Chain A
Amino acid sequence: MKKIRELLAERFFLLSALASSSITLVILAFMVYMGLPAMRGGGLLQLLFTPWDPFQGSYGILPMIVTTAAISLLSVAFSLPLSLGSSFLVTVIAPQGVGGALRRLIQLMTGIPTVIYGFVGIFLLVPVLRELFQYGSGMCILAASLMLGVMISPTMTLFFCDSFDRIPRSYLDAADALGASRVQKLVHVMLPSARSGMLMGVILALGRAVGDTLIALMIAGNSIRMPGSVLDSARTLTAHIALVIAADYESPEFRSIFTCGVVLYLFTMLVTVAVRAWGRTGGEQR
């Protein structure tokens, strides 16, 4: 009796695992299917290399791809040192009580809706950037990536904290016994042993940055031109989808946003695989 029940439970879990993992594939298949007419009609190359100008019948999305890559990678670059610093502070430097309080504060920060960050960006960051650089409207790649960096930092910090917490106590004690300074302990003991957990944190944060729509929509400026500098107004793939979704269902510009979806999907997948592969080779070297 017990065996049957166990078997049933096992099957049930297997099924749910299969179902949830296949949804990812179904979504990809759906987007490819919906995007196919646009890809076939104009050719994939045309989707990449013509400008976006629906009135002229061209639907190029290359500037949006470049912008998405630039904004998300920049935001991780801003957020990584910030998160590393705060996680080190929370787990090692700050006294027990303060560290705990800080961590709860950071947990609270993960729950702030992105639209709030967008508003803060519009009212505080954009005017400052405009006057500081005396260039453009201040709505630019830099503004969006700074704001996104702040947004993804709590996620990253919490992941870093968790992976620091999982380091065996004996490693840290050994480092202390050898007379290592805090910085030496961080660089030589904590970072190497927390590597895989930290990578997960970076991947997740990057995923949030790539997928976020509102911050980019509100403060990156949404111009359709290929950005020439971080101070240029530009449009991400997600913002592009949000803007074009208002178009007529039957129109080619509406169909083209499925291509954006496919690109977005492949982009996140590629980054995840690349970061994991990089993490693995790094691990073997040790």
Chain B
Amino acid sequence: MKKTALVRVALSLAALVLSALPVFSGELDSFKNERGELKISGGTAHIPVMKEAAQKIMTVNPEIQISIAGGGSGVGIKQVGEGLVNIGNSGRKPTGDEIARYQLRVYQWAVDGVAPVVNPKNRVTKLTKGQLAEVFSGKIDNWKQLGGTDRRINLYTRDEASGTREVFWEKGLGKGQISSAANVVVSNGAMKSAVAKDPYGIGYVSVGHIDRTVSAVSLDGVTPMIRTVQDGSYGISRGLYSNTRGEPSGITKKFIDYLRTSAGKAIIRKHGFIPVR
């Protein structure tokens, strides 16, 4: 009786060690002895990477709870500044004023492109920058004018606190006007599903969010994708940042460090971004 119990304990111990071994290796080691909560919010381009990193960390150590919310770059910077979250993500560099006011520490971990996207059913997949600006200002308002079907163009844009909007407006539209008739959506994900459902829509998303449900529009003959963003031929790009208030410590610091390890970089690459060296 006693013997079987012993064997059982030994067996389960062995099983535990075996199952834990491959997981408890490499870059995630530093999370082993941690516990507590890590709150992340802000830029919605960042979310896929944040989610996968969090999942990996929480699988290794269930004592760590990581919550990820969106809200846009403005929300991320504000919430981390107010101390509501530990990490505030932004798809733009915080302004000097914001850095000073909240004593922000800014960590860039990836480069991302922002690309105009249309519905896969749309035949128009090539535009010049001039055309793009005219479409978004409302000067061109029918797909027929661009060689598509005879339907009005439905514009989709992001709210003013969005870092994706800022870079698209600055580098894609040359700070040109965005028509007041444009629909406004609140995240990269919402933008993607809006355009994926609307055959006559055009919007813009982070390159990391492009999948089969939308098609990217090439600008002046350059297709937005990782390679063209990386070699600089596709110019509408920006950094992805994680910001903390003051010097980060504990899980917060380890999370940011993790994004810069080779495992973290693999996650970043997998989701369509270019990790910083």
Contact = CB atoms under 8 A, between A and B. Distances in A.
Interface string B147-172: 00001101010011100000000000
A201 interface: no
Nearest to B151: A134
Interface residues of B, number: 26
B23 interface: no
A135 B152 CA distance: 7
Interface stretch (B180-188, B222-230, B233-241, B251-259): B180-188
A130 B180 contact: no
A1 B3 CA distance: 75
A223 B180 contact: yes
A19 to B, nearest CB: 29
Contacts of A51: 180
A127 interface: yes
Contacts of B75: 246
B197 A243 contact: no
B74 interface: yes
Interface in B124-154: 151-152, 154
A21 B67 CA distance: 37
Contacts of A161: none
B181 A247 contact: no
Contacts of A154: none
A52 B181 CA distance: 12
Nearest to B98: A248
A130 B179 CA distance: 20
B258 to A, nearest CB: 27
B98 A137 contact: no
Contacts of A54: 160
Contact of A243 (B151, B156, B159): B159
A233 interface: yes
B150 to A, nearest CB: 10
B189 interface: no
Given A135-B152, A253-B160, A246 B74 contact: yes
Contacts of B200: 137
B201 interface: yes
A224 B180 contact: yes
A12 B183 CA distance: 51
Contacts of A222: 183-185
A53 B179 CA distance: 11
Contacts of A235: 184
A81 interface: no
B180 A246 contact: no
Nearest to B72: A246
Contacts of B160: 54-55, 243-244, 246-247, 253
Contact of A233 (B72, B151, B183, B186): B183
Given A248-B98, A249-B78, A130 B183 contact: no
Given A55-B160, A136-B152, 16 more contacts: A51-B180, A122-B197, A126-B197, A137-B154, A137-B198, A138-B198, A139-B194, A222-B184, A223-B181, A223-B182, A224-B184, A225-B181, A232-B181, A246-B78, A247-B161, A248-B98
16 contacts: A55-B160, A137-B154, A137-B198, A139-B183, A222-B184, A223-B182, A225-B180, A233-B183, A243-B160, A246-B161, A247-B74, A247-B160, A247-B161, A248-B74, A248-B78, A249-B78
